[in-house]
Amino acid sequence: MSDYDVILIHPPARYDFREAPLFTGALGSSPEQIQFNKVPIGMLSIAEFLDRHGYRVIVDNLGDRMVQDPGFDADAHLQALSAKVIAIGLNFQQHAPGAIEVARRCKACHPEATIVMGGLTATCFHEEIIRKYPFVDAVIRAEGEKPLLRFMKALERTGEIGNTPNLTFRTETGEVRSTALLPASRDLDDFEYTRFDLIEPKTSIYPPNAPPRYSLAVCRGCLYNCAICGGSAASYRKNLGMERPAFRSSAKILGDIRHLKAQGVRFVGLFQDPRMGGKVYAAELLAGLAAESAGLDRLSLDLLGPADEDYIRQVAAIGPQVVIHFCPDTGCDAVRKRLGRPYDNAQLMETIRLCHQYHIPVTTFFSAGLAGESPENVHETWDLWERLDALDRQSQLCGDLKVPLGGPITGPIVIDPGSLAFENPEKYGYRLLYKNLEEYIEGLNQPSWHQWLNYETETLDKTALVDLVLTTMEFAVDQREEAGLYPPWQAAAERLKTQLDRVLVEEIGELMTITEPEERRAALQRLRDKREAFLLSNNCAA
């Protein structure tokens, strides 16, 4: 008998990230850092739902095992799995190469097991997965809990899965067939998100040597339509059949927080803006959080748009552990409007001032490389960044802010599959470089970060885009040094790394012209070794 009925695997982004010569550049400081080893919160609710209905199930965070232990033998681990169904998550697009590779290996070692895939990205590419990758038996589209339960029951009773909902599969004659979606959830109160006993390894809940942090979301879906987001209202409607977001009641969220605290969590990120659930919902939730968040060191909330004083006052009443995330993405109002965020810099600044007035720290994030962005208007982003830093400093000096802040952060973007820009790139100002899953996998299997960016914009080709991203990184370092967030030695080290990234992008371009794969790989490895040696000799940690 198999040890489990279902093993849900969270894969690494790339199965070979520990051996391949990779250049992570502006995307992260090491290949380990960009394996995205947090399990999607919905994977745990799938596990709990199956467990509740009598199935033996575990979430196996393979990506985390490989990140935490450089000597971890992933092949031997996959070989030793024992389950009737191996369900591999392909939620975040970044996992496309890893998820497909894990599926291939699972089928090779366990030909008798049924290999299933699911998650947002698998949902977008469901037909292609079944058509092109014969080692995947089925894709479960959209929300996973109920369809996977129906799938398990059908498999157990008759072995006949073809009538179960949300399914894309191959018929005996090799035809690709899809069944209809179940009606989408109207709320999330039937699910549980905090059964840590159903996940292994335990380091993947929160990593060792980091604050005990866990994420919850107030809803599944969104009311906004940011052009590049695969979790937008339009994407959920089209791909998940969800007409409006499904909310979790405040009573259930407060129960989640109690469970998290009982399991040692001290930092909770509560994602998506409670105001999307309406005034009454938000007020009830915030009042409940005021009572429940005692014992937490930090509770973060999202603001997806400007807020009035009444709302900020309610947030402040939760207590001093509250932090707000507000993500302006750009300082250019025209670029932000094009992205689909309906507010301007003045409204943003006013909201942040209000937050400070009520002693709430605000963290911000800027994207580099949005449609409409140019070397000229990027100065508007830098200007806003400087104003935000100045506001933080001023609020700290006058005692409004007691929590030390890290300043804004920045990073490149990618176009999510299923997003409005993915469906209609020209309309939103982008040129897509990968159009299907196979192209995603090929792109993400390249050695360097700049090759992983899956788009250009109508004004920025790849070279200009890479330059803009790196220039933004350089600005960020200068700004962090000026704001006292980096000591001079650290700023110098970061500057050197960015300069090196510029040179490496050029050199990698040349090495990619080597046609013999082994020779190319060896040359890339030598380049990677040179990079490490150079950074070491300059006292910069890689």
Residue from the set 140, 312, 391, 476 that interacts with ligand B12 by CB under 6 A: 140
Residue from the set 11, 31, 98, 119 that interacts with ligand B12 by CB under 6 A: 119
* List of E strands, 384-478: 409-412, 430-432, 455-457
Residue from the set 24, 45, 239, 364 that interacts with ligand B12 by CB under 6 A: 45
**Of 18-26, 219-227, 482-490, 527-535, which segment contacts ligand SF4 by CB under 6 A?**
219-227
Nearest distance from residue 101's CB to ligand SF4, in Å? 28
Tokens encoding 356: 């400070």
8 touches ligand B12 (CB under 6 A): yes
Phi then psi for residue 225, to 5 deg, are -135, 60
Q: CA distances (Å), 13 to each of 33, 236, 317, 419, 434, in order?
A: 10, 23, 40, 20, 17
Name the residue nearer to ligand SF4 (CB basis): 119 or 231: 231
Residue 465: name the closest of 329, 366, 374 by CA.
374
Residue 415: name the closest of 464, 365, 371 by CA.
371
Residue 235: name the closest of 418, 425, 427 by CA.
418
**Of 155-163, 201-209, 228-236, 310-318, which segment contacts ligand B12 by CB under 6 A?**
228-236
Residue from the set 24, 239, 250, 272 that interacts with ligand B12 by CB under 6 A: 272
**Rounded to the nearest 5 degrees, what angle is found at the Cα of 87, between the Cα atoms of 111 and 255?**
155
Indicate the DSSP class of residue 119: S
Name the residue nearer to ligand B12 (CB basis): 150 or 356: 150
Q: What is the rounded distance in angstroms from the CA atom of residue 204 to the CA atom of residue 61?
A: 7
| Residue matched to tokens 């070989």 | 79
Residue 312 interacts with which of ligand SF4, ligand B12, none, CB < 5 to 8 Å by class: none
Name the residue nearer to ligand SF4 (CB basis): 57 or 188: 188
Residue 407 interacts with which of ligand B12, ligand SF4, none, CB < 5 to 8 Å by class: none
User: Is 300 in contact with 270 (CB distance < 8 Å)?
Assistant: yes
- The number of residues in the chain equals 542
**Of 77-85, 108-116, 226-234, 402-410, which segment contacts ligand SF4 by CB under 6 A?**
226-234
Residue 53, SS3 per DSSP: coil
Residue from the set 99, 222, 371, 413 that interacts with ligand SF4 by CB under 6 A: 222
Per CB under 6 A, contacts with ligand B12 among 24-43 are 36-38, 40-43
Q: What is the rounded distance in angstroms from the CA atom of residue 225 to the CA atom of residue 358?
A: 30
Q: What is the rounded distance in angstroms from the CA atom of residue 523 to the CA atom of residue 508?
A: 9
**Of 222-230, 289-297, 395-403, 509-517, which segment contacts ligand SF4 by CB under 6 A?**
222-230
| Residue matched to tokens 């232990």 | 69
Four-residue CA torsion sign, 26, 31, 32, 36: positive
Name the residue nearer to ligand B12 (CB basis): 136 or 511: 136
Per CB under 6 A, contacts with ligand SF4 among 291-350 are 304
What is the distance in angstroms between the CA of the first residue and the CA of the last residue of the chain? 47
Residue 98 interacts with which of ligand SF4, ligand B12, none, CB < 5 to 8 Å by class: none
121 touches ligand SF4 (CB under 6 A): no
Nearest distance from residue 92's CB to ligand SF4, in Å? 13
**Of 88-96, 293-301, 310-318, 421-429, which segment contacts ligand B12 by CB under 6 A?**
88-96
Q: What is the rounded distance in angstroms from the CA atom of residue 360 to the CA atom of residue 358?
A: 6
Site string for ligand B12, 464-503 (x = CB under 6 A): ----------------------------------------
Name the residue nearer to ligand B12 (CB basis): 117 or 527: 117
Name the residue nearer to ligand B12 (CB basis): 43 or 505: 43
- In 158-293, alpha helices (H): 233-240, 250-262, 279-292
Nearest distance from residue 499's CB to ligand SF4, in Å? 32
Buried-exposed string 188-226: b where 16+ CB fall within 10 A, e elsewhere: beebbbbbbebbbeebbbbeeeeebbbbbbbbbbbbbbb
Longest pairwise C-alpha distance within the chain:
73
- In 54-202, alpha helices (H): 62-68, 74-80, 96-109, 120-124, 126-132, 145-157
Nearest distance from residue 172's CB to ligand SF4, in Å? 40
Residue 8 interacts with which of ligand B12, ligand SF4, none, CB < 5 to 8 Å by class: ligand B12
Residue from the set 229, 242, 253, 523 that interacts with ligand SF4 by CB under 6 A: 229
User: Is 330 in contact with 299 (CB distance < 8 Å)?
Assistant: no
Residue 91 interacts with which of ligand SF4, ligand B12, none, CB < 5 to 8 Å by class: ligand B12
109 touches ligand B12 (CB under 6 A): no
Nearest distance from residue 195's CB to ligand SF4, in Å? 25
Q: What is the rounded distance in angstroms from the CA atom of residue 300 to the CA atom of residue 494?
A: 28
120 touches ligand B12 (CB under 6 A): yes
| Residue matched to tokens 């059908």 | 154
Name the residue nearer to ligand B12 (CB basis): 8 or 339: 8
Helix (H) or strand (E) holding 200: strand 199-200
231 touches ligand SF4 (CB under 6 A): yes
**Of 144-152, 285-293, 439-447, 510-518, which segment contacts ligand B12 by CB under 6 A?**
144-152
Residues within the interface to ligand B12 (CB under 6 A): 8, 36-38, 40-43, 45-46, 87-89, 91-94, 116, 118-121, 140, 143-145, 148, 215, 217, 220-222, 229-231, 271-272, 416-417
Residues within the interface to ligand SF4 (CB under 6 A): 222, 224-226, 229, 231-232, 304
